[in-house]
Amino acid sequence: MRNRFWLAALSAASMLLAALPMTAAAQQFVNVLTGGTSGVYYPLGVALSGNIGKALPNAKVSVQATKASVENLNLLQAGRGEIAFTLGDSLSDAWKGNEEAGFKTPLRKLRGIAAIYPNYIQIVARADAGIRTLADLKGKKISVGAPRSGTELNARAVLGAAGLTYKDFAKVEYLPFGESVELMKNRQLDVTLQSAGLGVASLRDLATAVEVVVVPVPADIIKKIGDPAYLPATIPADTYRGQTSAAATAAVQNYLVTHEGVPADVVYAMTKALWTGLDALVAAHAAAKAIKLEHALDGMPLPLHPGAERYYREVGVLKN
């Protein structure tokens, strides 16, 4: 009798222990990889995390400030995030494995979720620095974004097409947006290049503190870059205080991406949370006004995650 009792107890304990890993596995962690806190990715990431938290109430959702595109993609490949913001040119380089762009090998675990809004390459100078054209940048002090960030790769492309290398500047700083602006205010820098949505907080802050000039990037320079990810665009007049006329520039599409190890039902929920909760993103930053479902797959340079694919089939963006 006692033997039967102990056998039953051991059997129950074994079943409980066997169930423990399943319980642990049921806890889903979602880390949203963004960018610097003074950029556009971060406030949008915070808003998106709120949407995801509602869609996945049993998940632990967090937001991580990063150096943006390149770091985000490498973190995803390493399984240290579930959804990330990135620039399209960085994403293409990651998929191919462009070592010069910060990717030692092709990041083939990455999967697409959505094309979102375009980044505008915004070159903004202090008005008293005497900079009106790209040629005027020679010999000046510039910040080009965090090292190997999407912004810094954009800087290399645009400046290179204009015939400039970093050696042509009196000083080159590799700083996030907010720190670049503080040095501009203190006259330690003449110009900052920031790849972001229109009306980015850092440049609004700068234009409020000092008189600025938005330096145009002409269409012929964009053509010389030779990368289809770079498109002609316009920064409208009055985007920033004192900017009385529109300025030509280049734009690069932004994307939300994940990796193949994230379960399909989680990616489906995150994708749906994006598109059904756009109001929250628009409230977080005006750049989100450009996020449109009909453009969700525009230029996607890598395969969609099956969870995202399922959502797009449901809403008719993808046809069977």
List, for residues 213-243, the tens digit of each pLDDT value: 999 999 999 999 988 889 899 999 999 999 9
Residue 33: pLDDT over 50: yes
CATH of region 29-117+254-314? 3.40.190.10
Residue 25: pLDDT over 80: no
pLDDT at position 135 = 97
Query: What's the CA gap between 197 and 206, in Å, rounded?
Result: 15
pLDDT in tens, 102-134: 999 999 999 999 999 999 999 999 999 999 999
* Stretch 248-256: mean pLDDT: 96
Residue 266: pLDDT over 50: yes
Residue 162: pLDDT over 90: yes
Of 4-13, 16-25, 192-201, the poorest mean pLDDT is in: 16-25
- pLDDT greater at residue 17 or residue 47: 47
Nearest CA to 86 out of 57, 122, 110, 50 is that of 110
pLDDT at position 8 = 46
Domain with CATH 3.40.190.10 in the chain: 29-117+254-314, 119-252
Percent share of the chain, pLDDT over 90: 82
pLDDT at position 320 = 72
Residue 94: pLDDT over 70: yes
Residue 148: pLDDT over 90: no
What pTM, to 2 d.p., does this model score? 0.80
Which class in CATH covers the domain with range 119-252? alpha beta
Dihedral angle computed from the Cα positions of residues 37, 43, 44 and 47, in that order, rounded to the nearest 10 degrees: 140
Confidence of residue 59 (pLDDT cuts 50, 70, 90): very high
* Stretch 159-184: mean pLDDT: 96
* Stretch 49-69: mean pLDDT: 96
- Give the mean pLDDT of the chain: 91
Within 78-218, residue ranges assigned H as helices are 88-96, 150-161, 177-185, 201-209
Nearest CA to 82 out of 129, 126, 27 is that of 27
pLDDT at position 12 = 46
> How many CB atoms neighbour CB 312 within 10 A?
19
pLDDT at position 227 = 85
At CB < 8 A and 24+ separation, what contacts does 168-172 make?
168/137, 168/138, 168/139, 169/137, 169/138, 169/139, 169/140, 169/141, 169/142, 170/139, 170/140, 170/141, 171/141, 171/142, 172/141, 172/142, 172/143, 172/144
pLDDT in tens, 196-217: 989 999 999 999 999 999 999 9
